[in-house]
Amino acid sequence: MRLYLVSDVAGALEPCGCVKDQLGGLDHVAALMLKDKKETPGSVLVSSGPLFFLDPIIKADRQPQERAKAETIADIFENLGFVAFAPGRNDWALGDGELATLATKSGGTPVACNATPMGLFHASLLREVNGVKIGFIGVAQPDKTDVGAPLGAVAFGAPEAAVKAEAKALEAQGAEVLVAIAAVGRGEAKRIADVVPELTAILVGATAMGGEENTSVAPPELIGDVLVAETSNHLQTVGVLDLFVRGGSYKFRDATGIALGAKRKELESRIDELHGRIADWEKDPKIAPRDLEARRSDLARLEAQKKALDETPAPKEGSFFRYRVREVRASLGSDDSVKKQFLAYYKKVDAMNRTTFADRLPPPPAPNGDAYAGVASCVSCHPGPKAVWDKTAHARAYATLADEFKEFNLDCVSCHVTGYEQPGGSSVTHVEKLEGVQCEVCHGPSSRHVADPKHVLPPTPRPGTDHCTSCHHPPHVHSFDPVAKLPEILGPGHGYPLK
Q: Which region among 17-26, 194-203, 378-387 has the lowest average model confidence (pLDDT)?
A: 17-26
Per-residue pLDDT for 475 more than 90?
A: no
Q: Which region among 131-135, 189-193, 479-483 has the lowest average model confidence (pLDDT)?
A: 479-483
**Per-residue pLDDT tens over the stretch 309-357:** 777 778 888 999 999 999 999 999 999 999 999 999 999 999 999 999 9
Give dist(CA 21, CA 272) in Å, integer: 10
Kindly state the average pLDDT of the residues 201-216: 93
Give dist(CA 24, CA 32) in Å, integer: 12
Give dist(CA 424, CA 361) in Å, integer: 9
In the DSSP assignment, the letter for residue 214 is -
Task: Answer for the pair 111, 83: CB distance below 8 angstroms, yes or no.
Answer: no
Residue 499 or residue 3, greater confidence: 3
Q: What is the pLDDT of residue 499?
A: 43
Q: What is the pLDDT of residue 456?
A: 93
Handedness of CA 394, 472, 48, 122 (dihedral sign): negative
Domains 2-257+312-337 and 363-489 agree in fold:
no
Give dist(CA 82, CA 89) in Å, integer: 20
- Please report which residue ranges of 107-232 form alpha helices under DSSP H: 159-172, 186-195
Q: What is the pLDDT of residue 305?
A: 86
Give dist(CA 436, CA 489) in Å, integer: 14
- Ramachandran angles phi, psi of 387, nearest 5°: -65, -40
140: burial class by Cβ within 10 Å (0-12, 13-18, 19+)?
Answer: buried
Give dist(CA 167, CA 499) in Å, integer: 75
**Per-residue pLDDT tens over the stretch 449-473:** 999 999 999 999 888 888 888 898 8
CB proximity list for 148: less than 8 A, separation 6 or greater: 56, 57, 89, 90, 92, 93, 142, 208
Residue 217 or residue 188, greater confidence: 188
Give dist(CA 353, CA 1) in Å, integer: 44
Q: What is the pLDDT of residue 262?
A: 67
What is the signed CA dihedral for 222, 173, 117, 120, rounded to 10 degrees? 90
Closest by Cα among 499, 476, 482, 396 to 19: 476
Give residue 469's Cα distance to chain centre: 19
* Domain boundaries defined on the chain: 2-257+312-337, 363-489
Kindly state the average pLDDT of the residues 394-419: 94
Per-residue pLDDT for 438 more than 60?
A: yes
Percent of the chain with pLDDT over 70: 98
Kindly state the average pLDDT of the residues 137-142: 96
Q: Which region among 18-22, 106-110, 201-205 has the lowest average model confidence (pLDDT)?
A: 18-22
DSSP 3-state of 393: helix
Q: What is the pLDDT of residue 447?
A: 95
**Per-residue pLDDT tens over the stretch 32-58:** 998 888 788 789 999 999 999 999 999
Beta bridge partners of 380: none
Task: Answer for the pair 152, 146: CB distance below 8 angstroms, yes or no.
Answer: no
Fold classification of 363-489 is: Flavocytochrome C3; Chain A, domain 2 (1.10.1130)
Task: Answer for the pair 418, 425: CB distance below 8 angstroms, yes or no.
Answer: yes
Q: Which region among 332-346, 354-368, 481-495 has the lowest average model confidence (pLDDT)?
A: 481-495
Q: What is the pLDDT of residue 148?
A: 63
Q: What is the pLDDT of residue 94?
A: 94
CATH 3.60.21.10 fits domain 2-257+312-337:
yes
Per-residue pLDDT for 206 more than 90?
A: yes
Handedness of CA 77, 78, 79, 81 (dihedral sign): positive
Per-residue pLDDT for 497 more than 70?
A: no
Q: What is the pLDDT of residue 440?
A: 95
Q: What is the CA radius of gyration of the chain?
A: 26
**pLDDT averaged over every residue in the chain:** 91
Q: What is the pLDDT of residue 368?
A: 84
Per-residue pLDDT for 498 more than 80?
A: no
CA distances from residue 292 to 21, 274, 295, 485 in whole angstroms, order as listed = 15, 11, 5, 19
Cis omega (within 30 of 0) on the bond before 285?
no
Give dist(CA 278, CA 295) in Å, integer: 7
Per-residue pLDDT for 194 more than 90?
A: yes
Q: What is the pLDDT of residue 492?
A: 76
Split at pLDDT 50, 70, 90, the class of 135 is very high
Give dist(CA 436, CA 431) in Å, integer: 9
In the DSSP assignment, the letter for residue 2 is E
Per-residue pLDDT for 22 more than 90?
A: no
What is the number of helices (H) and of strands (E) in the chain?
13, 15
Per-residue pLDDT for 217 more than 50?
A: yes
Per-residue pLDDT for 444 more than 60?
A: yes
**Per-residue pLDDT tens over the stretch 265-292:** 778 888 888 888 888 888 778 888 888 8
Strands 2-7, 237-244: pairing is antiparallel
Task: Answer for the pair 73, 51: CB distance below 8 angstroms, yes or no.
Answer: yes
Adjacency order of strands within the sheet including 237-244 = 109-110, 82-86, 43-48, 2-7, 237-244, 320-327, 253-254
317: burial class by Cβ within 10 Å (0-12, 13-18, 19+)?
Answer: exposed
